[in-house]
Structure 1
Amino acid sequence: MDLKYLNTFKTIVEEGSFSKAAEKLNYTQSTITFQIGQLEQELSSQLFEKIGRRMVLTKAGSQLVPYVNDVLTSVDRMRYFENDLAQFQGNLNIGIAETQLCYKMPDILKAFHQQAPNARLLLRSMNCYDIRDELLNGTLDLGVFYEDVGGFGSNLTTYRLGEYPVILVASPEISKDCSDFITPDRNISISFIINEANCIFRQMFEQYLRERSIMIDHTIELWSIPTIKNLVKNNVGISFLPKFAVQEELDCGELVEIPTDLVNTKISAVCGHHKNKWISPLMQAFIDLCVKLK
């Protein structure tokens, strides 16, 4: 039995369609169809059936899924066995929330590089919802994200890294003109500078504004936290960020905290992986450093 047929089957299940699996694996759709046909022939069972426009798993296909996962996990372990494990060789795919990547991970990444100089870290700065989803479908080995996104139940194994307050900040000059974010039913002429719509702390603050019936002029949507802070320092608007991300600016007076009724609002960072993921030596080394140096 050809292992690539099993990998194709697993990818179709994860991606939800033959076409998406073909795109991910860089195959033509006819190649995908041929490989599944060969697998069905070897197993003497139909694995997919067409319902409407969708190809869905048959009962036999559903029963095959855990067996395929076990086989491919075992193959993954064998690949690591072939390497000199003492040297921590191999690739590690990690998605990291940008605030964590900028302000919490440099020491961890430095220590990991010293411990595993022959490893290849494939890092991506990602939205926490995307990290969660890619951990669930197996695209990422590990994720460092805010568990406040929810939606993963017991499907992910997580290791707590810390709980952090989130605060509203502005430049000292801007804070004089928009110091009241507590009184409800107000229109405040100021720009809110923040990450894209799925940013967890943006969602927290926007929910607060809705509950207080507080309206602000408009939102400036950026990806880079350093850029957001720079604009806030230069009187362009306000932002709602984890306190650790703005602590240096608060200490030197470039930014000030604006009071709100979001008392004790915190977000919880975790390092996580799929519960069925085999923990390679590289993964364990990274997890251990995250927990130790958090």
Structure 2
Amino acid sequence: MDIKNLKTLRAIAETGSFQAAANQLNYAQSTVTFQVQQLEQELSLQLFEKVGRKMVFTTAGKNLLPAVDRILGTVTEMQNYGKADAELTGDLRIAIPDTLLTYRMQPILKAFHAQVPAVQLSLQMANCFAIPQLVANGTVDLGVHYDVGGYGNSLAVTRLRDFPLVLVASAQLDSRTVDLRQVHQRLTCALITDDRESIYHKKFMKAIAARDIVFSNFLEIGSVEAVKRSVISNLGIAYLPKFVVQPELDTGQLQVLPTEFDGQTLTAVYIQRKSQQESRMLTTFIKTLATSFS
């Protein structure tokens, strides 16, 4: 069995299509199709089926992905046998939400690269509720995100630390005009978020719903940094992890608005498959991650 064919199968799982996998691997799409057909013949299994215009994994194809991941992991470990950390090679795939990637990961990435400079690190930005599935199906090797619960028996979850949440507004805003400590309100200012499916936005909406507070305007922007710029410009208010806005709070560009649910937190965790063979690359990254978050 050709290892290249297994790498192609994993690339399809990562990218979601034959063409995207071909682009990632610098192959023609016909090459990807041929490699998949070779695998199907060798295994006597149908790995994909056509649904509409797309080729999607069959149940057998999905069930084989963890085994493919283990094989490729073993190959990488064999290639790295006897090497010093600085000589390690291979790929490490991590899923992480925007806030942690943008505002917490740079020192970690720098330290990790200094230890294993030849390792190719792939960071996939994803919603916290989607990350467990990406880890479970082998699309990524590690998930670093906020605890959302419901992981099942196949994933190991390790706590990193808690982060407080704050409601922030522009320093230009008169805080007396937006007082969430009062119930039964209809507010005319805009509520701004980077992702209405984020865990911190869901926490906020649950808290204000319990107090019968409704915002008449809602603005969803796909970037946390753009959310901050918008709030600083007094376009609305936002509920975010405090570390995201701490520099702007320190310089007086933003202010924290008091609420009756002050003290809410998010718990950062990392998750991995229990069946996963932990490589030296992954072990090094986890140690660097844990040190940074301690």
TM-score if structure 1 supplies the norm length? 0.79
Secondary structure of residue in 2 paired with 1:184: coil
Gaps in structure 1 of 5+ consecutive residues: none
| Matched ranges for 1:29-44 at <5 A | 31=34, 34-35=37-38, 37-40=40-43
The one-character-per-residue Cα deviations of 1:101-147 (angstroms, maximum 9, x if unpaired) are 22222211121122122222222333222322211111112222111
1:292 positional shift: 0.9
Q: Sequence identity of aligned pairs in percent?
A: 32
Residues 56 and 246 of structure 1, relative CA distance in 2, 3 Å threshold? closer
> Are 1:248 and 2:251 an aligned pair?
no
Q: 2:62 touches 2:137 (CA, 8 Å); kept in 1?
A: no
Task: State the alpha-carbon separation in 1 of the partners of residues 66 and 170 from structure 2.
Answer: 55
Q: 2:166 touches 2:262 (CA, 8 Å); kept in 1?
A: no
Secondary structure of residue in 2 paired with 1:208: helix
**Aligned-partner residue type, residue 124 of structure 2:** R
1:173 positional shift: 3.0
Q: 1:8 touches 1:21 (CA, 8 Å); kept in 2?
A: no
The equivalent residue for 1:114 is: 114
The one-character-per-residue Cα deviations of 1:23-53 (angstroms, maximum 9, x if unpaired) are 665466974774355235xxxx767899xx9
The equivalent residue for 1:290 is: 289
The equivalent residue for 2:144 is: 144
Q: 1:83 touches 1:89 (CA, 8 Å); kept in 2?
A: no
Secondary structure of residue in 2 paired with 1:180: coil
The equivalent residue for 1:220 is: 219
Task: State the alpha-carbon separation in 2 of the partners of residues 140 and 91 from structure 1.
Answer: 10
Residues 47 and 144 of structure 1, relative CA distance in 2, 3 Å threshold? same
Residues 214 and 281 of structure 1, relative CA distance in 2, 3 Å threshold? same
Task: State the alpha-carbon separation in 2 of the partners of residues 119 and 64 from structure 1.
Answer: 25
The equivalent residue for 1:94 is: 94
The equivalent residue for 2:162 is: 163
Task: State the alpha-carbon separation in 1 of the partners of residues 36 and 109 from structure 2.
Answer: 42
Task: State the alpha-carbon separation in 2 of the partners of residues 248 and 68 from structure 1.
Answer: 44
1:177 positional shift: 4.7
Residues 193 and 37 of structure 1, relative CA distance in 2, 3 Å threshold? closer
The equivalent residue for 1:187 is: 186
1:174 positional shift: 2.0
Q: 1:159 touches 1:291 (CA, 8 Å); kept in 2?
A: no
Task: State the alpha-carbon separation in 2 of the partners of residues 256 and 164 from structure 1.
Answer: 18
Secondary structure of residue in 2 paired with 1:173: coil
Mean Cα deviation higher: 255-264 or 21-30: 21-30
The equivalent residue for 2:231 is: 232
Gaps in structure 2 of 5+ consecutive residues: 23-28
Greater share of residues in helix: 1
1:189 positional shift: 0.5
The equivalent residue for 1:211 is: 210
Residues 232 and 56 of structure 1, relative CA distance in 2, 3 Å threshold? closer
1:164 positional shift: 0.7
Q: 1:112 touches 1:286 (CA, 8 Å); kept in 2?
A: yes
Report the aligned-residue RMSD: 3.4
Secondary structure of residue in 2 paired with 1:108: helix
The equivalent residue for 1:103 is: 103
The equivalent residue for 1:174 is: 173
Q: 1:80 touches 1:280 (CA, 8 Å); kept in 2?
A: no
Secondary structure of residue in 1 paired with 2:263: coil
The equivalent residue for 1:201 is: 200
Q: 1:160 touches 1:291 (CA, 8 Å); kept in 2?
A: no
1:67 positional shift: 6.2
Task: State the alpha-carbon separation in 1 of the partners of residues 132 and 242 from structure 2.
Answer: 23
TM-score if structure 2 supplies the norm length? 0.79
Task: State the alpha-carbon separation in 1 of the partners of residues 112 and 82 from structure 2.
Answer: 22
Secondary structure of residue in 1 paired with 2:74: helix
